[in-house]
Amino acid sequence: MRRESRVSEDTSRLRGLAVLCLQTLGVAGAYFAAAKLGLQHELVRGQVTPLWPPTGIALACLLLMGLRIWPGITLGAFLVNVPIGPTALAVVVISAGNTLAPVCSYLLLTRVGFRTTLDRLRDALALVFLGALGGMLVSATMGTGALVLSGALELDKFWPTWSVWWTGDAMGVLVCTPLLLVIRHTYRSSASVALSRWVEAVALLVGITIVTVMATSGSVNLLFLVFPFLIWAALRFELVGAVVCALLVTMIAILSAARGTGPFADHDLFTNMVTLQAFNGSAALTALLLAAVIAERNRAHRNIKQVCDRLTDVMARIEGGQSAEQQEVRNFLRGSSQSTSRTDGER
């Protein structure tokens, strides 16, 4: 029996190790693929972009699968930085920063009781301030510092590059992490959605695409036309609609900034980055926070309805129980009166 139990334990360990290896390789592959997409619109040295999706993917994987998959993040970051890194030491430091940043964000979020359903305002705020703005300070500082120390970046360009790096990593968390988390929790219920909802969703996506393209091709004032569509997405489709629309808006704005058109024309890198990331950050925050508030309100309404339904059932049972007791008392009294009348008649 002991030998059989040991064999069973060894088999389960091997299976767990195999699953962990597959998860690690999957995370590394997803990180690498997302990085290649992000590098299509680099702004500094072929490796600093206004949107770095791998950070959002890495944080989502940590939140869903745990801290044990951090080697996959390191492997993916290393494979991405080897061809573009200026020196071997810089590659190691940048890869370490790309790993430590989502790990720090994960630890901060778990410490405050973050829930991956994102159906509370406190969870959305935690993701913004701890996951995006706080944790990504690590990768931006280590990465930019490595470029300066290796001689690939001049010292006077440290802060502009650092700001691009930090905001790009933060935007990756704000846009990509909620999208992956909400897909994880809502993909099963998509089959039960009514046809009218699908029609409305398509109309929303088409409308926000057209408006965003027009706004990013004109003046800065036109950018505000996007926000009514983000509010529509949050009100009608909660998190899933809000994060999809925020990602779509961000991608269109980045394409416009890379081409230097509309509000991003005839400006230096710093001015364009301030305009771009202010717009992208406002859009992402509006969509995420409003959707979290709506989700929290709807969840509270559902809880209240459940409590009311339970109270109704309890009251019905109590009333039914009282009626039964009253019927029993009546039967007892009726039986007693009948026996008494019989006794009197016999007498």
CB 72 within 8 A of CB 59: no
CATH code, residues 1-187: 1.10.1760
- Please state, rounded to an integer, the average pLDDT across all residues of the chain: 85
Q: What is the pLDDT of residue 273?
A: 81
CB 216 within 8 A of CB 223: yes
Q: What is the pLDDT of residue 12?
A: 80
| Calpha distance 152→91 (Å, rounded) | 12
Query: In terms of Cα–Cα distance, which of 265, 264, 266, 285 is closest to 274?
Result: 264
User: Dihedrals φ, ψ of 152, to 5°?
Assistant: -80, -15
* Between 319 and 25, residue with greater pLDDT: 25
Q: What is the pLDDT of residue 207?
A: 96
Q: Band the pLDDT of 327: cuts 50, 70, 90.
A: low
Q: What is the pLDDT of residue 48?
A: 66
Token digits for 236? 């009608």
Element (H, E) at 243: helix 227-259
Least confident of 158-162, 193-197, 321-325: 321-325
In this prediction, residues 62-88 reach a mean pLDDT of 93
Q: Band the pLDDT of 329: cuts 50, 70, 90.
A: very low
User: Dihedrals φ, ψ of 33, to 5°?
Assistant: -65, -45
Q: What is the pLDDT of residue 263?
A: 87
Please list the residues that pair with 48 across neighbouring strands.
44
Q: What is the pLDDT of residue 313?
A: 78
Segment 255-298, tens digit of pLDDT: 888 888 888 887 777 788 888 889 999 999 999 999 999 988 98
Q: What is the pLDDT of residue 148?
A: 93
Q: Is the dihedral of CA 50, 102, 173, 198 positive or negative?
A: positive
CB 56 within 8 A of CB 176: yes
Q: Where are the domains of the chain?
A: 1-187, 194-340
Is the pLDDT assigned to residue 344 strictly greater than 60? Answer: no
Query: In terms of Cα–Cα distance, which of 242, 243, 265, 264 is closest to 253?
Result: 264
Give the helix ranges, DSSP H, for 129-194: 136-149, 158-186
Q: Is the dihedral of CA 78, 83, 85, 87 positive or negative?
A: positive
Query: In terms of Cα–Cα distance, which of 29, 94, 98, 100 is closest to 67?
Result: 100
Whether this prediction's pTM lies above 0.95 is answered by no
Segment 164-223, tens digit of pLDDT: 899 999 999 999 999 999 887 665 555 567 888 889 999 999 999 999 999 998 888 888
CB 247 within 8 A of CB 181: no
